Amino acid sequence: MLTKKTTAYLILTLLLAITIAWALTSGASSKGLADLNILFNIRLPRIISALLGGAALAVSGAFSQAALRNPIAEPALLGISSAANLFALIGGVLLPALFSAKIIAAILGGCLAFLTLASLQKDLDPYRLILVGVALNAVFSALGNLLNPNQNAFSLATSTWTTTLFLAVITLLGLAVALVISPFANYLKVGDRQLQTLGLSPKQLRISLLSLATLLAASSTACIGILAFIGIIVPHHARFLLGHDYRQLVPFCALGGAELLLLTDTIGRLVIAPNEISANIILAIIGGPFLIYILLGRKKDAHS
């Protein structure tokens, strides 16, 4: 008899396979060379980038929430993605011929934002910490718009095999590390004093998780742009279905993030074809009300 966890994995894997097939076959009108070129040089890199980016952002969100002990911590909401985007733009201006410069700069920008938030964590409750993140996001976004008003500078629509390769290397390595260190994320569910009695350093655990979360979110942003709410929607549903064991959550979040981003991107690509709706817009429409629901639910719990 299948357990609840096994059933959840099977259903998600089936949905992902169906979405990949739909994304690959949608939009084709003939079997000519032009369509083959579109499939292999435009659509396929975009699909792979969506799968990788969604997985990276979902796992990044899960680790951010574990490290900050904040269930609404998420790279885009905390300003991590906009900081990475700003620094990627700066890297592109300084070294336009080197795409690796954008990746490195994006990671540095993400680290700056995360360190800022981590330094303020002890002085702020979860809600105020989010407000600081929103403020950082506004500042970094405004500076990014000054450097490049083109909002599609980094997006799934501009995915190439070059950007996809960079994203694949960093994301796959990052996810492999995430699987290895996922048991340690469970330790942060207990108090810091209990961790110290076990001979573990809470600070080092948080730094490790935040560093990996930043790497995943920043590299994704540098390749496919800012995509919000994946790091909130997927981990919360994963916890509802599987519980709070990060050994189970990490692979499920990777699959769920890949499914969510590919699905929203495919819908946005087809719903008003030949024009497109950005995946970020669809995610905001879904994620905004979901975030409000979480905040209201936590407020009720606090007063009950």
* The predicted structure's pLDDT at residue 182: 94
DSSP H or E run through 289:
helix 279-303
Q: Are 30 and 173 in contact (CB under 8 A)?
A: no
* The predicted structure's pLDDT at residue 3: 85
* The predicted structure's pLDDT at residue 45: 95
CATH 1.10.3470.10 given to domain 45-303: yes
Q: Token match 């095999």: residue?
A: 161
Task: Provide the residue count of the chain.
Answer: 304
* The predicted structure's pLDDT at residue 158: 87
Which pair of tokens denotes residue 295?
A: 């905040």
Give dist(CA 87, CA 107) in Å, integer: 8
* The predicted structure's pLDDT at residue 172: 97
Q: Whole-model pTM above 0.95?
A: no
Q: Is the peptide bond before 274 cis (omega within 30 degrees of 0)?
A: yes
* The predicted structure's pLDDT at residue 123: 64
Q: Which of the residues in the chain have pLDDT under 50?
A: 30, 302-304
* The predicted structure's pLDDT at residue 304: 45
Give dist(CA 275, CA 281) in Å, integer: 14
CA-CA-CA-CA torsion sign (6, 11, 12, 14):
positive
